[in-house]
């Protein structure tokens, strides 16, 4: 895929993102055929949006999630400042195609993670982390049936990003907590609708962070100090509707919330 084709793919996705519309798939002439080509189109989309990249998301960090969207491994997407919101935000919901919300562990990096000749381990990436936050992701896709278009096109679509709500940093004691065993409960309008643990995220959110650090090096965009990394949902994504109040409770680590406007 040349730069012109990557920009053409990005322009089509951006047009539908702005218009809150969907397409069946990218035209053959600009359809990415590999993960690398998908990331090439994704980079062009981020540039076209005019929003600043502030970090990364990881999609499909569970076997169930991978089966749901028809991929065989995790996917990375850029977090963009135009879609980043604070704890307690009120967001629109009527246009959402996926119409789900996810509860996630989020790392903020203290230092760069450049190529170094060997893979980063979970211990390495935790040592490079400034803080742990909690987050709520509201994914969405510009494809009518996102379960059949395949990984390269999903990556070009920024790994199904829409809104992300970032909660405050949790107490530093998180470093002594077994995040794989740590639980989260999602409440909508006062009713618990989903529960899960960190192990639902590639076995451990720290493993997911290490995977991303190594994957970004492979695709030429190493993680950088200051970036926020949301590692994937630790619950089964929960259906939402306009007017819903959403709260993710991570017990001793805290809570993060949002409201969907009517």
> Is residue 42 included in any domain, yes or no?
no
> Is residue 13 included in any domain, yes or no?
no
Task: For the chain, list residues with pLDDT below 50.
Answer: none
Distance CA 206, CA 230 (A): 11
Query: Could you read off the pLDDT of 180-210 as tens digits, one per residue?
Result: 999 999 999 999 999 999 999 999 999 999 9
pLDDT at 203: 97
Q: What are the start-end ranges of the E strands in the chain?
A: 53-59, 75-80, 84-86, 89-91, 100-109, 129-138, 163-169, 183-188, 191-197, 228-233, 238-239, 245-249, 255-260
> Is residue 33 included in any domain, yes or no?
no
> Is residue 154 included in any domain, yes or no?
yes
pLDDT at 1: 82
> Is residue 29 included in any domain, yes or no?
no
**Domain carrying residue 232:** 53-260
pLDDT at 63: 84
> Is residue 14 included in any domain, yes or no?
no
> Is residue 92 included in any domain, yes or no?
yes
What is the DSSP annotation of 213-232?
HHHHHHTT--B-TT-EEEEE
Residue carrying structure tokens 């940093």: 169
Q: What angle do CA 170, 209, 236 make, to 5 degrees?
A: 75
> Is residue 147 included in any domain, yes or no?
yes
pLDDT at 115: 96
Query: Could you read off the pLDDT of 198-248 as tens digits, one per residue?
Result: 999 999 999 999 999 999 999 999 999 999 999 999 999 999 999 999 999
What is the DSSP annotation of 154-210?
HHHTTTT--EEEEEEEPPGGGGGS-TTT-EEEEEETTEEEEEEEGGGTTTSHHHHHH
CATH of the domain at 204: 3.90.850.10
pLDDT at 68: 87
The total of structural domains in the chain comes to 1
């Amino acid at each position: 895929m040349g730069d012109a084709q990557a920009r053409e793919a990005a322009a089509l996705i951006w047009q539908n993102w702005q218009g809150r519309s969907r397409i069946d798939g990218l035209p053959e002439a600009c359809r990415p055929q590999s993960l690398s080509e998908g990331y090439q189109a994704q980079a062009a989309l981020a540039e076209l949006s005019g929003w600043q990249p502030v970090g990364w998301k990881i999609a499909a960090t569970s076997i169930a999630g991978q089966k749901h969207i028809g991929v065989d491994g995790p996917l990375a997407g850029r977090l963009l400042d135009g879609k980043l919101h604070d704890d307690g935000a009120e967001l629109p919901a009527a246009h959402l195609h996926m119409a789900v919300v996810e509860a996630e562990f989020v790392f903020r990096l203290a230092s760069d993670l450049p190529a170094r000749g060997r893979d980063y381990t979970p211990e390495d990436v935790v040592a490079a982390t400034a803080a742990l936050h909690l987050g709520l992701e509201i994914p969405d896709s510009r494809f009518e049936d996102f379960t059949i278009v395949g990984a390269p096109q999903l990556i070009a679509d920024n790994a199904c990003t829409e809104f992300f709500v970032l909660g405050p940093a949790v107490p530093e004691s998180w470093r002594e907590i077994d995040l794989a065993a740590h639980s989260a409960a999602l409440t909508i309008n006062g009713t618990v609708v989903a529960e899960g643990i960190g192990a639902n995220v590639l076995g451990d959110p720290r493993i997911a962070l290490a995977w991303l650090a190594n994957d970004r090096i492979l695709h030429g965009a190493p993680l950088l100090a200051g970036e926020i990394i949301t590692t994937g949902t630790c619950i089964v994504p929960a259906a939402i509707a306009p007017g819903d109040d959403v709260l993710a409770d991570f017990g001793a680590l805290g809570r993060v919330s949002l409201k969907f406007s009517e």
